Structure 1
Amino acid sequence: SDESSEDEAQIKWEEQQIKKAVKLSQETYDDASLHKSQPTKPKFDPSVSLPPVNLEIVKKRLTERITSLQDVHRAHQREYEKYMEDIESSKMTVQELEKSSDAAVNYKFYRAMKTYVENLVNCLNEKLKYINDVELAVHLLLQQRAMRVLKRRQDELKNESAYVQHLTSGNDKATNGKLEGDEKTQLLEMCEHRRTCRQQVRECSGEADHHEGMSSDDELTPTEVTEFQKSKDNVLEDSKKVFEDVHADFCDIRKILLKFQEWKEKFPDSYCDAYISFCLPKLLNPLIRVQLINWNPLEQNFTELEEMPWFRAIEEFSGAKKVSESKRDDDPDQEVLPRVIEKTILPKMTAFVKSVWDPLSTSQTKNLVQLCNDVFEKQDLSKNGCSRAKEDLINMVVLRMKKSVEEDVFIPLYPKSSVEDKSSPCSKFQERRFWSAVKLLSNVLLWDGIVQEDTVRDLGLSKLLNRYLLLNLLNTPPGPDNIEKCNKVVACLPGRWFQDLKSGSTLPELLNFCQHLLQCARVLHKNNHSEETKAVLLMLVKVKALHVVEGFIEEYKLEHLKSMI
């Protein structure tokens, strides 16, 4: 046992010695490799000579060093200045944000406004179909009534013309076989009855300056009036139901505009950037049309636009009455009312002119002319004074007047023996047709200043006067009747046409008319009718046919009449 323990100790000692030898050799190897990897430092050799150094080289290198440092300094200075500017800008932004409304409040307002506009547009889109239906229903009622009156007038004109022609020819058979005895007589009696009723009304009102044929003859029978009013009331009742289920915030124009007014006051920049003034006319269009459903500008005592709630609301919103000219150009809301007129009012007026207006009706024409003047005056406040809608309206007026001249004017010519008796049917019918044409001439000339002057002169003078009226005047003997007719024609002519005529000659379209007046003056003077002669000369002076008057005075040595020129 002692020997075995000594052997184990010997073995352990050998192993320890071996491990020490291995460890020692490894450390020796690591030190050698580390020594090899490190570069050897050069040793200073005092025998090696250095390049010469003088003051200029040192100065140059120092200058270069200073220049480099200065460039770096300037770069740092610029960066510093930029940082300081950013700091100042940030401080100002912070101050502005502190002064402005809270961002959360702004976001809440814009989000609420967005939701409101979306709901408003959806509501109006849903109601648009009902608005179109109601508007169309009322317009069809007015159109049907106008067509009924026009058709009756044309039928009665044909029947009465045929009847008078029948009397003139002395033939006992009904003309054209269209209407036999009792039926024709009944229609003529109804026409004569309406004529008598109108005459009684004029006598009661004291209207003296009136001639048969100058009435529009647009009266309806009591049954027709009742049916029309009943149908119209039903449609108007339906129109009241269009927005009955809608909150006032979405159908009251004033409240809608207040929403946008709030936006404009709080955030004017974003309000302008959103072009709200361009959007409002289209947005308000359905609501305005509902208020215009019962509006008929051709009727007497119709509601003025200025008196309507929508007009007052828009006028108040845009401040049209208060704003000065200097501010007008800056505020885009000043264009809202003119654009509403262009987009909504003018198209509705054009529809009335096309389907409802009767050019032979003086009351309708005067109302329409006055409305056009008022509307165009308001539209002229806009920067875009001339618009397509305005041109369409004027073109439709001209088209309707041309149609009326072609279809409504008929002045028959009968033998002199048939019209000598003023109470004969031929004479009465011819007189009525003449005065009806004079009335149309007067209505056409009312449009001077709205329709182009060349167009008005062509329709009124070239077509109506020279083609129809003058032919009747030439066949009327000079005398009180002829003078009265000519005087009425001259009274229709706009005075501004003759203001700039300085040559002594009248308008080219009036040359034939002036020749007729001259012939009348000669005949009257030869028959010693001095007052009538003077009246004719005064008409020539009014139309600036001064050379004609001067020639007449010289021809007949009427020196005492020179004062009228």
Structure 2
Amino acid sequence: MSFSFRKPSKAKSLRKKIEVDDDDVEPQVDTVVKRPNKSIAKEAKSDSKRQSKSGGTGGAALSFGGDDEQGSESLVPIKTTSNPRMVKANINHDLFSNRTSTPTQTSDYSAESLQALKAGQLHKPPAPNADQLSVNDAFSAEFKDIPDATAIHAARKLREERRAAGIIGEKDTGFISLADEKSEKMKEHESRLVTEDQELEGEEAFDDHVGDQINFGGDAVKKEEQRRKAEFEQNLLVAQEEDVDDEAEEELRQWEDEQIRKGRAKKSDADRNSEKAEKPRPKVYSIPTAVSLPNLSEASRRINNLVATKENNHDANLAMLAHTKADFDRSITASAALEVDRKMSSERYTYFQELLQYIRELADFLNAKFAELEKLEEEYQETLDTGLEVVQSRRFALMDYDFSQMVGMEGLVSDSPENQRARQQARRNRRAARLQARTGPMDEYEGLSTDDELDAESEAKYQERKVETRLKRSRLLEDATEDFKSVILVKQRFETWKVKYPKDYDNGFGGWSMPGVFAIFVRQELVDWEPLQSTSTSFDTMHWHKQLSDYGIRDASDVDEDDPDTRLLMKIMEKTCIPRLKARIASYDVWSGRQTKALVRILGGLMDYSDGGSGPFKNLVSAIETRIGDVVAGLSQRYAFHVAAPSIPVSEMGRAAADRWFWTVFKLLQNIVNFKRWVRREALQQWAIDSILNGCLVKGLRVTRDYEGDLVKYEKIMKAIPTEWIGDVYSVPDFLRSLENECREFARRNGDVAGRNREFAERLARVFVEMKNFQEASLLGKMHR
């Protein structure tokens, strides 16, 4: 006997109570009908044999899904309709085609009949209620297989007898009802369905045993032991074969890995198959029949160990495979990298050979062209120096004439009166031309305006030499190869070097060498550069500056401060531009206000490329100091007031000459003070205060007696002296004592004017305040309270 468990339907957890009301309508349930694969007679014979062995108490096999494993019969589910209260009229029509309605005789439940019924039920379980008995239950209790027509008629007859007996028995006094005693009224309110809320929570009953089968009886036990023994032997053989194959495959895999590491070739499939064929098959040992079967826990433990071992081996194999694959990938990558390195090395060697040849040719080119370039620079510098000599000689001739008129000594000028008058007339003409050409306001005092223009003849010669020099400059690189004719081509060649091989570029000091490479192109453009005569002194407008401003810089937002190429313009300024400007200082006209302003602008622009502490910039400032010192020393020696004192009073012509001479010297004072940002204060005070102010201007103030003109001179002198030189003191500085004494003498001489003229008194008082003489200023202020 065996019991099997079927997992209930998961669609809905409903339980049904089935009642049979009449003959034709049966409760609709999922019945499993066994389809016989043998004849009915043979089944009956086997049933009788089993009953005889078991002593008449043979059990029928109840199967709910587990009989498929026996292979002796198959289960065919019969589909039902969706209405649980109705069934099809032709259900099991093939099996019950001979069903007929056989009326049964009614019998009473007398004492004899009841005794007979009890005697017939001694060895059988009590019959279930007819109302609750299904066809499947009835057949499964009596038969193992599908009943034949005789059995069906017998079952129908028995059902009719029991139904009739129940009806009659209710009327008889000896009737014992087998049905429950619930009244029909109580059953009306009782539902046949069990909802999900009424069902117990948790897993379904026997859910873990769905598909299992429990056999009972001695034969079933023996068959189960034989089946387990045969299955165990079969599994053991399979396991031994798998272990041998796994060991062989593991050895082969280890050998292949070792050969791969050594670099040997992998064996072919034919070689491996031949090795497998030569290996002896494992010897199979039979299990003695007396060996006891292990229990379920021991078998489960062994199986788990075996599975764990297989899993570990599998993981190890996977890890080895992954490691081998990684090694293979690394080998492929290394091989590709080596091939790339080989190509790059070949290209690198070829490139540097070409670059080396290019640099050698460039060096020869620079050595040859620098000599020609320096010669052009010297020729143009001589042209500038010639123009300066012309202007200076003319200026000193005019100043000498004015000085002689101021001091009343005609013998100071050796030139003839006709030439002197001609020079004076030429000066007036130049001043008139400047007034006409000037768009902005111009100083109304003659002598303050810049008088550095050349005469017509000198200007023509000067322009002719300039044109000749520029022509030679343009032809300087005509005979050079195409690679050296333009700064753009040279720039691209070295930028390519930096981009392709940046490390070699840095190790070869490429960034530090670029100022020397580009110097030839910068100096070529600066050959005819006139920074002191030009109104525009910005380097940004030059061609070389536009081309080299972005050299070696890919991204302007990401600039490496340690990269020498970022300071290329600074190095060019220090090594090329500042030395060329220093050479131009020799032709600098310190008396010219226009050239002074241009030089001051250039110095301010150089501060954007170089700090004031660099060596080239210091050398430039030193050259400016030397040039100013030479001009001031020449002025002091040329006009010595201790030798020729001014005559008082002088003539009207002498006062006009004194005014021109005074304003010319005063302009030199202004030009010198403009360099206070770069030149040492001690040197500037010595030139501006000691030599020019106290040595020349103060003595020139004693000549004239024009109170209005003299007051303007005092005001401009105090305005020209930097306030930081005077400082926040409450007394007159020592270097202004001479000027302060002369100003007090001027105030005394013009006291009546100050008394009459309130504006004159206030202007003179401000001059005393700027000199820090607050007492004189207070006296002038009290005059007009």
Q: Same fold, TM exceeding 0.5?
A: yes
How far is the alpha carbon of 1:474 from its aligned partner? 4.3
Q: Corresponding residue for 1:343?
A: 575
Contact conserved, 1:466 with 1:513, CA < 8 A, in 2?
yes
Contact conserved, 1:320 with 1:334, CA < 8 A, in 2?
no
Distance 2:401 2:555 in 1: 56
Could you list the per-position Cα deviations for residues 272-330 of structure 1 after superposition, in whole angstroms to 9, with x for gaps in the alignment?
Answer: 11112221112222221111112100113356321111111221215599367xx4522
How far is the alpha carbon of 1:243 from its aligned partner? 0.6
Give the TM-score taking structure 1 as reference length. 0.71
How far is the alpha carbon of 1:370 from its aligned partner? 0.6
How far is the alpha carbon of 1:338 from its aligned partner? 1.2
Query: In structure 2, what residue type is equivalent to 1:192?
Result: Q
Distance 1:401 1:141 in 2: 21
- Structure 1 residues 322, 474: CA separation in 2 closer, same or farther (over 3 Å shift)? farther
Equivalent of 2:426 in 194, 214, 229? 194
Contact conserved, 1:194 with 1:217, CA < 8 A, in 2?
no
| 1:524-539 correspondence runs (5 A) | 524-525=750-751, 527=753, 528=755, 529-539=757-767
- Structure 1 residues 250, 177: CA separation in 2 closer, same or farther (over 3 Å shift)? closer
Equivalent of 1:371 in 598, 602, 605? 602
How far is the alpha carbon of 1:261 from its aligned partner? 1.4
Contact conserved, 2:537 with 2:601, CA < 8 A, in 1?
no
Contact conserved, 1:295 with 1:302, CA < 8 A, in 2?
no
Q: CA RMSD in A?
A: 3.3
Distance 2:730 2:427 in 1: 44
Distance 2:682 2:720 in 1: 16
Q: Corresponding residue for 1:29?
A: none
Equivalent of 1:458 in 686, 690, 693? 686
Contact conserved, 2:535 with 2:598, CA < 8 A, in 1?
no
Whether 2:599 is the aligned partner of 1:357: answer: no
Equivalent of 1:502 in 728, 734, 759? 728
Taking only the aligned residue pairs, the percentage that are identical comes to 21
Q: Corresponding residue for 2:620?
A: 393
Equivalent of 1:402 in 629, 638, 642? 629
Q: Corresponding residue for 1:34?
A: none
| 1:200-215 correspondence runs (5 A) | 200-204=432-436, 205=438, 207-215=441-449
- Structure 1 residues 481, 333: CA separation in 2 closer, same or farther (over 3 Å shift)? same
How far is the alpha carbon of 1:362 from its aligned partner? 0.5
Gap runs ≥5 in structure 2: 1-328
Q: Corresponding residue for 2:372?
A: 130
Secondary structure in 1 matching 2:473: helix
- Structure 1 residues 131, 104: CA separation in 2 closer, same or farther (over 3 Å shift)? same
Could you list the per-position Cα deviations for residues 395-426 of structure 1 after superposition, in whole angstroms to 9, with x for gaps in the alignment?
Answer: 1111111111122463764322324x3xx2x2
Whether 2:667 is the aligned partner of 1:434: answer: no
Query: In structure 2, what residue type is equivalent to 1:504?
Result: Y
Distance 2:331 2:732 in 1: 79
Secondary structure in 1 matching 2:550: helix
Contact conserved, 2:388 with 2:589, CA < 8 A, in 1?
yes
Distance 1:526 1:263 in 2: 83
- Structure 1 residues 480, 98: CA separation in 2 closer, same or farther (over 3 Å shift)? farther
Secondary structure in 2 matching 1:386: coil
Q: Corresponding residue for 1:117?
A: 359
Distance 2:346 2:498 in 1: 19
Contact conserved, 1:353 with 1:397, CA < 8 A, in 2?
yes
Give the TM-score taking structure 2 as reference length. 0.52
Q: Corresponding residue for 2:521?
A: 287
Equivalent of 2:346 in 104, 110, 119? 104
Whether 2:643 is the aligned partner of 1:416: answer: no
Q: Corresponding residue for 1:235?
A: 469
Q: Corresponding residue for 2:510?
A: 276
Gap runs ≥5 in structure 1: 1-87
Distance 1:323 1:459 in 2: 48
Contact conserved, 1:462 with 1:509, CA < 8 A, in 2?
yes
Secondary structure in 2 matching 1:340: helix
Distance 2:432 2:489 in 1: 51
Contact conserved, 1:441 with 1:460, CA < 8 A, in 2?
yes
How far is the alpha carbon of 1:506 from its aligned partner? 5.5
Could you list the per-position Cα deviations for residues 334-364 of structure 1 after superposition, in whole angstroms to 9, with x for gaps in the alignment?
Answer: 222111111111111111112x111001001
How far is the alpha carbon of 1:214 from its aligned partner? 2.6
Distance 1:223 1:387 in 2: 42
Whether 2:498 is the aligned partner of 1:264: answer: yes
Secondary structure in 2 matching 1:379: coil
Distance 2:719 2:751 in 1: 23
Could you list the per-position Cα deviations for residues 38-66 of structure 1 after superposition, in whole angstroms to 9, with x for gaps in the alignment?
Answer: xxxxxxxxxxxxxxxxxxxxxxxxxxxxx
Identify, as 1 or 2, the structure richer in helix: 1
| 1:39-58 correspondence runs (5 A) | none
Distance 1:439 1:320 in 2: 50
Distance 1:513 1:163 in 2: 23
Q: Corresponding residue for 1:558?
A: 782
Query: In structure 1, what residue type is equivalent to 2:568?
Result: V
Secondary structure in 1 matching 2:607: helix
How far is the alpha carbon of 1:541 from its aligned partner? 3.7
Query: In structure 1, what residue type is equivalent to 2:628?
Result: M
- Structure 1 residues 414, 274: CA separation in 2 closer, same or farther (over 3 Å shift)? same
